[in-house]
Amino acid sequence: METIRTIAWMKEKAREARQEQRVIGFVPTMGALHSGHMALVERARKECSPVYASIFLNPAQFGPNEDLSKYPRPLEADLEKLTAAKVDGLFLPDAAEIYPLGFSTYVHVEGLSERLEGKARPGHFRGVATVVLKLLEIVQPHYAYFGRKDAQQVRIIRQMVRDLNSDVEIVVCPIVREPDGLALSSRNTYLGVDERKAATVLYRALQAAAKEIAAGVRDTLDLQRTLHKVLESEPRARVDYAEIVDAETFEPMVRVGRCCYALLAVYIGKTRLIDNMLIQPAGDELSMEL
């Protein structure tokens, strides 16, 4: 696997691949790679050649009171995983390469960026959209792969790509979970032993809502009450939000019918975790994807 540290060299590699009419796949990450990231790489390798990944811990998406300095950086282990997965190249720029002196242009997707995660983390999605657009312009992939766990982020990236006529297809892959249901996240490493056990309450809350939907419940207030009841049964959990929203607008819904998400953001101790369930029509019924 080739490690590429400059924008100029990454662009040259992308130009070569496109001139050879090869299909470029791209998996952007912030490092601390887990099986969820590697599932994205595996999907990309099935559909593309070459496949590039990036590791860039983006300072623009962290607020002043967030965990940038504490974010895990196991670079050697990440390199081993990507090499074993036969990734063709890793784009590994430093912050000065992406945000050089005098940088002053940012991307803001209006509306979608203001609710839920955007409200809880002001400026977060501006940082995400800016760095993702820069990475897409640098790597020039045909397909870029993201996980559904960050559902609002993926929706914002799709909107940005559509609005700015970017020549890339955003591929959204299923959530990867531990055997007990906890969605994989780099932040799971922050959890102590008891907190790790408590964190399964997010999955249990979504399961409870899915059971009610399967039984015919459609009122979103009833479903949200169920989410809160399960979450609040765990003493170590503190709910930031638990909402049912339209999958396109991320606005609240009155009744479940069209495609939507059950979205959770919950503090377990000091660690903030997110999770979701996709709810979509399947004939006359609804299907739930955890």
Active-site annotation, residues: 37
Other CB atoms within 10 A of residue 51 CB: 28
Residue bearing tokens 């945000």: 99
Interatomic CA distance for residues 121 and 116, integer angstroms? 8
Interatomic CA distance for residues 51 and 62, integer angstroms? 27
What's 183's DSSP letter?
B
H or E segment and range at residue 222: helix 220-232
Burial of 193 (C-beta count, 10 Å sphere; 0-12/13-18/19+): exposed
CA dihedral 46, 49, 54, 60 (to 10 degrees): -90
- Short-list 196, 213, 193, 195, CA closest to 205: 213
Report in angstroms the alpha-carbon separations of 12 from 18, 121, 197, 232: 10, 36, 47, 52
Interatomic CA distance for residues 274 and 185, integer angstroms? 9
